[in-house]
Copies of this chain bind each other. A is one copy, B any other.
Amino acid sequence: MDDGADAVFRALADPTRRALLDALLERDGQTLFELCTRMADTGVGSSRQAISQHIDVLAGAGLVHVRREGRYRLHDLDTTPLHPLRERWLRAEKRNRP
């Protein structure tokens, strides 16, 4: 009943991780340092390792995909794990309507 959804919900539970999703929503292919500086700018400051670990959690939930390019690690947002959750907890009256 709670397959990968648990990882997604736990990933969304942290404000730093949500800020990372916000940052990646604006532009894909950002590098780790890029995300670190952006976090520091928006007030959600954390160390590089902390952010790296947060990204690991997001990647484990399938929300972020990581690809390597040279010495850089680029990150892409993937919101497909969120789609099945958008329609959860909608009242039955409102659900089955054309």
User: Which chain A residues numbered 65 to 98 have a C-beta less than 8 Å away from chain B?
Assistant: 77, 79, 82, 86, 89-92
Task: Give the copy number.
Answer: 2
State whether the Cβ of A18 lies closer than 8 Å to any Cβ in chain B.
yes
State whether the Cβ of A12 lies closer than 8 Å to any Cβ in chain B.
yes
Q: Which of B10, B86, B89 contacts A21 (CB 8 A)?
A: B89
Contact B12 A12 (CB under 8 A): yes
When distances are taken between beta carbons in the complex, the residues of chain B under 8 Å from A9 are 9, 12-13, 18
Q: Which of B6, B13, B86, B89 contacts A25 (CB 8 A)?
A: B89
Contact B25 A15 (CB under 8 A): no
A79 CB to nearest chain B CB (Å): 5
